[in-house]
Amino acid sequence: MVNRVAVITGASRGIGRATALAFAQAGYDVVAAARSMEGAGDILSELRAANPTASAVNLDLASADSIKEAIGRVVKEKGRVDVLVNNGGITRDGLAVRMKHADWDAVLRTNLDGSFLCIQQVLSGMMRNRWGRIVNITSVVGQAGSPGQVNYAASKAGLIGMTKSLAQEVASRNITVNAVAPGYISTDMTKDLPEELKQAIMGKIPLARMGTPEDIAAAVKFLASDEASYITGQVLGVNGGMYM
């Protein structure tokens, strides 16, 4: 494998962190993108231990200007972006009847709009190079729904539709576009769930455990590899069997 450049958003913790590390260990030139440089800096030493070319960039998915500036800097410094992993996202949970418009807008703007804008920034280069991998991190919630998360579910379902449409647009340029849909994963986003809710969730998972960030990282790494060159427009569920 040539030293491919991989940009991973939301790379400072959880799934993004595990994915960035997995890519660095596999020889990718990883760019860890995070909303705060402090968060990105926390992982940088680990990444550089695996691959000294690794770097970090400040990228706010809620800001089109931030996205354009960050990815523009990556292209200038690295020459290209071969792999984009759209992992960054937020939640603003609440029942639909009482959901504030600001909470709806923030989640859609960050999770869906932000991912699309990142794609736009890397796509022309991938098309010119006639090679690329885009992996969007969606969610089991985007497939099955979840009460109290209409905004988050809508954003993640939107990523699935975007994945399938884009895959058809760019396949002729040897660019694949896929999605990974995690189930319930042990991250900062799930650690504070009430114990009774955790037990209820476990009862719906045939493998009877929560997933790990490394479970998701392995799936993302596969979809970015040459071995997955004939896979596009797919949603790979990594959920322990809770949604089939």
State the catalytic residues: 152
DSSP reduced 3-state for 139 = coil
Contacts of residue 3, defined as CB under 8 A and 6 or more positions apart, other chains included, come to 27, 28, 29, 53
**Cβ(61)–Cβ(46) under 8 Å?**
no
**Cβ(7)–Cβ(74) under 8 Å?**
yes
What is the CB-side half-sphere exposure of residue 123 using CA atoms within 13 A? 14
The CA distances from residue 61 to 20, 68, 73, 192, 214, in Å, are 17, 10, 15, 24, 23
End-to-end CA, the chain = 33
Residues in a beta bridge with 180: 137, 236
What is the CB-side half-sphere exposure of residue 60 using CA atoms within 13 A? 7
Tokens standing for residue 236? 């790979």
Token pair 């736009």 in the structure block, residue? 120
Quote helix, strand, coil % in the chain, to nearest 5. 50, 15, 35
DSSP reduced 3-state for 24 = helix
